[in-house]
Chains A and B, each alone.
Chain A
Amino acid sequence: MNLQELIQVLNLKVFTCKDNLNKDVEGGYVSDLLSDVLADAKPNQIWITLQTHKNIVAIAQLKGLSAVVLVKGLEPNENTIQKADEERIVLLGSEENSFDLVGKLYAFFQESKEK
């Protein structure tokens, strides 16, 4: 699926890299334990989490993730936004909680697979 499409359809807020959203998303990963994402996330996945610490940018970069979505209306601080822009990491936001957001994401992935 295309990231730009996902952003529109799920009404996600874009915190960084507004010019770098035309990329592929090959699935998703949900976890709030950074070491867990480090171990099991795959490249080009979209990562859904409530962790806003700057370290999420390092993890996303290391694992080659398409984007990181912060749930429940949480926002990254200035420091994190700056680092993410520097490292070209897409940080997005959703007002919804993980369960609802991932439910919708999953449905879209299934739909697009069927097409």
Chain B
Amino acid sequence: MRTLSLHLFEILSNSVFYGANNIEIIVKDSKKENIYYFEVKDDGKGIRQEDIEKATDAFFTSRSTRKVGLGLALTKQKAQQCKGDLEIESFYGEGTKVRFWFAHNNIDRPPLGEIEEVIVMCATMKENINVKYKHITDKGEYFFDTKQIRKILEGVEINNIKIIKALKEMMKNNLDEILVNE
């Protein structure tokens, strides 16, 4: 994937696909600590202990339409090639936490990309999905919570083209204040 956001999207797609109603995302972009860190915690179906190791194997997938499941495998590969890694914690029936990180200064580390596209898409992919997103940089923090948005919108579903566009713009403007240019 050409950007870190696309790797995040792969993980978020899994969360949504496997039934998550609540997703918490943490992104830490720190030159000081030389880390670009992502964490996705969901309350979806979860992964059986014996399957966790296989989950990052390209040839293992629980989807029935294809033989290979590549999202986790490619992200893990990229992370390891950038002096990072990917780890999964999960309990079947309870949920999953996927953490992956890259050395910030590694020359092969992809740029962030348009993370607002990915987060907003995830929040509006399914009805009534709750997304909490926290983005931390050396310059500051940004916090996004669909519950707060829904309160402000007073009943108007966020799955609405104008609102989606507005949310993306709002998120991008807020992130621009804390992101440090590559």
Q: Interface of A with B (CB < 8 Å)?
A: 33-36, 38, 53-55, 57-59, 61-62, 83, 87
Contacts and interface: CB of A to CB of B under 8 A. Distances in A.
B68 A53 contact: no
Contact of B74 (A35, A57, A87): A35
B68 A58 contact: yes
Interface of B: 1-2, 6, 58-59, 66-68, 70, 73-74, 77
Contacts of B58: 54-55, 57-59
A34 B67 contact: no
Nearest to B6: A35
B6 to A, nearest CB: 8
Contacts of A36: 2
Interface-centre pick from B58, B59, B68, B73 (highest chain A CB count, 10 A): B58
Contacts of A38: 70
The 5 A-B pairs of least Cβ separation, nearest first, read A58-B58, A35-B1, A58-B68, A55-B58, A62-B68
Consensus secondary structure, chain A interface:
helix
A83 B60 CA distance: 13
Nearest to B81: A53
Contacts of B66: 62
Contacts of A54: 58
Contacts of A83: 59
Nearest to A87: B59
A34 B78 CA distance: 10
B70 A58 contact: yes
Contacts of B68: 58, 61-62
28 contacts: A33-B2, A34-B74, A34-B77, A35-B1, A35-B2, A35-B6, A35-B74, A38-B70, A53-B77, A54-B58, A55-B58, A55-B70, A55-B73, A55-B74, A55-B77, A57-B58, A58-B58, A58-B68, A58-B70, A58-B73, A59-B58, A59-B70, A61-B67, A61-B68, A62-B66, A62-B67, A62-B68, A87-B59
A63 to B, nearest CB: 10
A13 to B, nearest CB: 24
Contacts of B59: 58, 83, 87
Contacts of B74: 34-35, 55
Contacts of A61: 67-68
A113 to B, nearest CB: 32
